[in-house]
Structure 1
Amino acid sequence: MLRKVPLIVILGSTGTGKTKLSLELAERFGGEIISADSMQVYTNLDIATAKATKEEQSRATHHLLDVATPTEPFTVTHFRNAALPIIEQLLAKSKPPIVVGGTNYYIESLLWDTLINTQDEQATDEHEQPLDSLTTLELHKHLAQIDASSANRIHPNNRRKIERAIEVYRSTGQTLTAKLQEQRQQPGGNRLGGPLRYPHIILLWLRCQQDVLNVRLDKRVDGMLQQGLLSELRQFHDSYKGVTAEYTKGVLQTIGYKEFVPYLEKYNTDQDAKLEAYLQLHQYQLPSKEHLLTMTEDEAQLAESLQLLSSCCEELKLVTRRYSKKQLKWINNRFLASKDRQVPDLYELDTSNVAAWQEQVFKRAECIIESYRQEQICEIEPMAKRVHPGADLDEETSNFCGICERHFIGEYQWQLHLKSNKHKRRRESKRRKEREAEAEAATKASQIQTPIEAAAADKEA
């Protein structure tokens, strides 16, 4: 018996092969691809955001690529409101929607229902102060006045979440706390969201050994240069540098752009052309620090700009590796270790060995999906759910460490911090300084003579 068409979701850190698998599954099952990437929704920066190439896009219908300009806001609500009708239309046609991307909170907005549905997040009363005019600290204080529980739950530096909580109140008249409480009381709801939207969901998690992934990510950055990254960044920078100086909103926060701003602001297209010629001559291999010291006289004129470009590339590699680990942590905590949350079966696919892709990745994914559709027993077991060590602790409280001068949201993070070596070292350092200060004060006090002692000393003299 053929089961209803499932919603297929491909999760995974950047560089694990999500685009490749999505194309293969779309061709195999006649599906269409919905991009869940917060940066790929914007036009421009195709190379920097690792967008599916035109050739790849021709292999299957893609949705939600290039749907916003770099100067307009595009939030998770915009994404959800655009993606849900597409999913419904595809399911009605018995075509599997294939959601793929690295922005996991975009994916969550599709999988779980929520009562927080503001159609116009930006709408404000004419007498209300625009949020952009306030600092993050001012916003947090404002949130504390209208929704103390949310202010206690959201980190004071997390501007996006603070703004979101305020916008919910402004647009609905209810606090985010009240909305979440109502959401929890729904069948299948919990602190992270409501019940699942769809009864038939398959989650495929592409994994890769971190050391293998790090090498792969570094090579991808090097490959971007050869694909024309420098020219793409220059064109984008010159077009939008006057729009805003904040690299924290929209596509301006893209990993792959902001790391190169120091170079883009210091040099122009003339220098770009010289570097491009050098890179072509050297097969797009950036010089090492040692080679920079032994360059020819002609090449030495490029040394400073090459060094800065190399620094930008190294920063991009570092940030990309860090982001891949953050994505991994999100999936572990939100999909595998969420207490009382309805989570579809999650299947792990190891992409570490590219040579074994066909057997280890594609055929296993094909087997999982086909077995599900045919309502047959699948020989591949889903991952076991686990209990998060902080499951029974209060995750809606905040603590401030006066020693380390840091805020912590949730009792679990707070307990981890108190047990950390970093905190213990700082605590001991503070205690040592206090003891030294007390000893110094005591020494000074002992050296101060009372009037009687001073008179006695004078008499003896």
Structure 2
Amino acid sequence: MKEKIIVIVGPTAVGKTSLGIQLAKALDGEVINGDSMQVYKQLDIGTAKVTEEEAKGITHHLIDIKQPDEPYTVADFKADATKKIKDISSRGKVPIVVGGTGLYIESLLYNVSHGGKAEPNDQFREEMQQIVDEQGRDYLHQLLREKDSSAADSIHKNNVRRVIRALEVIHETGELFSDFQSERQLEPVFDAFIIGLTTDRDVLYKRINERVENMIDNGLVDEAKLLYHTVPKDSQSTKGIGYKEFFPYFETKQEWDETVALVKQHSRNYAKRQLTWFRNRFDVDLWVDLVADSKQLEEVIEIGRKHLESD
């Protein structure tokens, strides 16, 4: 029998954390983090990490499990989250996976490795980064297109880390990165009920802008400084939106207003990509707009309960 789980996905600033807690309270569940940045200790504000007060006693897993200079891969998440699901289920509680990192959720639900069989090759990555520095992102993306056009079609040129990873997989395994993408199982590994949160685009963008302002007021810049001064610049944690935009500001290469505007812009762009990802690659069982109508919460809880009780 597949373990029954609930999964909450959607763009940033749409209320995933809150819904996860409310469902966990109503259905006797525990939350498993599905956000790639919340695994890092000390990065609380910029990752919108749940506070003890917000958690209301609900147990949250896979938060604060890595130092900012440590890597954490899709394969790591897949293995860790699978263990947590089995543990939570064995104790008679409901695993509730909450997050906006599409690669993480897809790897967990559909057993996709995303090239996880290829070990990291630091020398190769440095060589590729040097190509970017000297010849630009377009040139690197063209290299990928020549080797694997399908992968190039699916990875934006600005996602340099992902382009390098695709090239690295090809280099290390001799197989196309896109072949790993096509290994996705048709049926989810778990008996998952997937809830997608969404809202009107203008409303969402306003919420994102306000969230950025609140993060700055609450100490986001201090977290960015911590990364800038203590963590190697090629670390995964330094690539997070809300942190990397401040680095040119610290180097006096960028004005404050431009920096804040970039954080907001990149956050909005990310939210758009998240929505596209979840709409195109996931069989979401229920799309709901709790921002516009919070009264739908009771209906969402009831639908979730029916899923858990179904054969």
Instruction: Compute the TM-score of the two structures, normalised by the length of structure 1.
Output: 0.58
- SS of the residue corresponding to residue 130 of structure 1 reads helix
2:69 to 68, 71, 77: 71
Equivalent residue, structure 2, for 1:411? none
User: Contact between 1:150 and 1:165, CA under 8 Å: does it hold in 2?
Assistant: no
Instruction: Compute the TM-score of the two structures, normalised by the length of structure 2.
Output: 0.83
Give the direction of change, closer, same or farther, for the CA distance of 1:153–1:254 in structure 2 (3 Å limit): closer
Equivalent residue, structure 2, for 1:372? 307
**Can you give the 5+ residue segments of structure 2 that lack an aligned partner in the other structure?**
133-138
User: Contact between 2:151 and 2:178, CA under 8 Å: does it hold in 1?
Assistant: no
Give the direction of change, closer, same or farther, for the CA distance of 1:166–1:348 in structure 2 (3 Å limit): same
1:220 aligns with 2:211: yes
Equivalent residue, structure 1, for 2:286? 347
1:251 aligns with 2:237: yes
Give the direction of change, closer, same or farther, for the CA distance of 1:11–1:178 in structure 2 (3 Å limit): closer
Give matches, 1:310-349, under 5 Å.
310-335=257-282, 343=283, 346-349=285-288
Equivalent residue, structure 1, for 2:47? 49
Provide the aligned length of Structure 1 versus Structure 2. 302
Cα deviation, residue 148, structure 1 = 5.2
Equivalent residue, structure 2, for 1:261? 247
**Cα distance in 1 between the residues matched to 2:117 and 2:151:** 23
Equivalent residue, structure 1, for 2:136? none
Cα displacement string for residues 31-57 of structure 1 (whole angstroms, at most 9, x for unaligned residues): 111111111122222101111113334
Q: Matched residues, percent identical? A: 34
Cα displacement string for residues 2-46 of structure 1 (whole angstroms, at most 9, x for unaligned residues): x98621110111111000010111111121111111111222221
Amino acid at match of 1:259: E
Cα deviation, residue 101, structure 1 = 0.9
Larger Cα-atom Rg: 1
Amino acid at match of 1:206: L
- SS of the residue corresponding to residue 32 of structure 1 reads strand
**Cα distance in 2 between the residues matched to 1:141 and 1:262:** 28
Instruction: Using CA pairs under 8 Å that are at least 6 residues apart, name the structure with larger relative contact order, 1 or 2.
Output: 2
Give the direction of change, closer, same or farther, for the CA distance of 1:91–1:311 in structure 2 (3 Å limit): same
Cα deviation, residue 374, structure 1 = 3.0
Amino acid at match of 1:77: A
Give matches, 1:2-401, under 5 Å.
6-57=4-55, 59-114=57-112, 118=116, 121-122=119-120, 130-134=124-128, 135=131, 137=139, 141=143, 157=157, 159-168=160-169, 174-176=175-177, 183=183, 193-240=184-231, 243-244=232-233, 249-266=235-252, 308-335=255-282, 343=283, 346-353=285-292, 356-357=293-294, 359-360=295-296, 362-375=297-310
Equivalent residue, structure 2, for 1:436? none
- SS of the residue corresponding to residue 196 of structure 2 reads strand
**Cα distance in 2 between the residues matched to 1:259 and 1:177:** 30
Two-structure CA RMSD over aligned residues (Å)? 3.2
